[in-house]
Amino acid sequence: MFLGIDLGGTHIKAVLLNESGQVVHEKQLATCASEGTAAVMAKLSALIVDADRGFPGELQRIGLAVPGVLDQERKRVVLLPNFPDSWHGFELREHLMLVTGQEVELINDARAAAFAELNLGAGRGISDFLLLVLGTGVGGGVVLKGELILGSRGVAGELGHQVIQPDGLLCGCGNRGCLETIASGPAIASAAIRVLKQGLPTLMRELVQDDVSKVNSSIVDEAAVRGDRFAIDILKGAANALVQAIRNGIAILNPGAVIIGGGVARSGFLLDLVRRGLESRVILFPSTLGGVDVVEAVFGTYAGAVGAAAWAMSRRTS
**Distance of alpha carbon 127 from alpha carbon 124, whole angstroms:** 8
CA angle 74, 3, 313 (to 5 degrees): 65
When binding is defined by CB under 5 A, the residue of 106, 118, 171, 207 that contacts Zn ion is 171
CB 235 within 8 A of CB 217: no
Task: Kindly state the number of chain residues that form the binding site for Zn ion, as judged by CB under 5 A.
Answer: 5
Identity of the residue, 127 or 175, whose beta carbon is nearer to Zn ion in the bound complex? 175
4, containing H or E segment: strand 2-7
Identity of the residue, 155 or 173, whose beta carbon is nearer to Zn ion in the bound complex? 173
CB of 246 to Zn ion, least distance (A): 17
Q: Which of residues 190-229 bind Zn ion (CB under 5 A)?
A: none
Identity of the residue, 106 or 178, whose beta carbon is nearer to Zn ion in the bound complex? 178
Torsion of the alpha carbons at 159, 161, 162 and 168, rounded to the nearest 10: 150
Identity of the residue, 144 or 173, whose beta carbon is nearer to Zn ion in the bound complex? 173
Residue 234: phi and psi, rounded to 5, are -60, -45
Q: Which of residues 130-169 bind Zn ion (CB under 5 A)?
A: 161
Identity of the residue, 81 or 84, whose beta carbon is nearer to Zn ion in the bound complex? 81
Radius of gyration (C-alpha) of the chain in whole angstroms: 20
Q: Which of residues 285-304 bind Zn ion (CB under 5 A)?
A: none
CB 141 within 8 A of CB 261: no
Identity of the residue, 112 or 159, whose beta carbon is nearer to Zn ion in the bound complex? 159
CB of 241 to Zn ion, least distance (A): 12
Interface segment toward Zn ion; rule CB under 5 A; list 34-42, 174-182, 233-241, 258-266: 174-182
CB of 189 to Zn ion, least distance (A): 18
CB of 131 to Zn ion, least distance (A): 17
Identity of the residue, 187 or 257, whose beta carbon is nearer to Zn ion in the bound complex? 187
3-state helix, strand and coil shares in percent for the chain, rounded to the nearest 5: 45, 20, 35
CB of 120 to Zn ion, least distance (A): 29
CA angle 65, 69, 71 (to 5 degrees): 95
Q: How many CA atoms lie within 13 A of 289 on its CB side?
A: 6
CB of 239 to Zn ion, least distance (A): 19
23, containing H or E segment: strand 23-30
Binding mask 175-194 for Zn ion (x = CB under 5 A): x--x----------------
Instruction: Give the binding site for Zn ion (CB under 5 A).
Output: 161, 171, 173, 175, 178
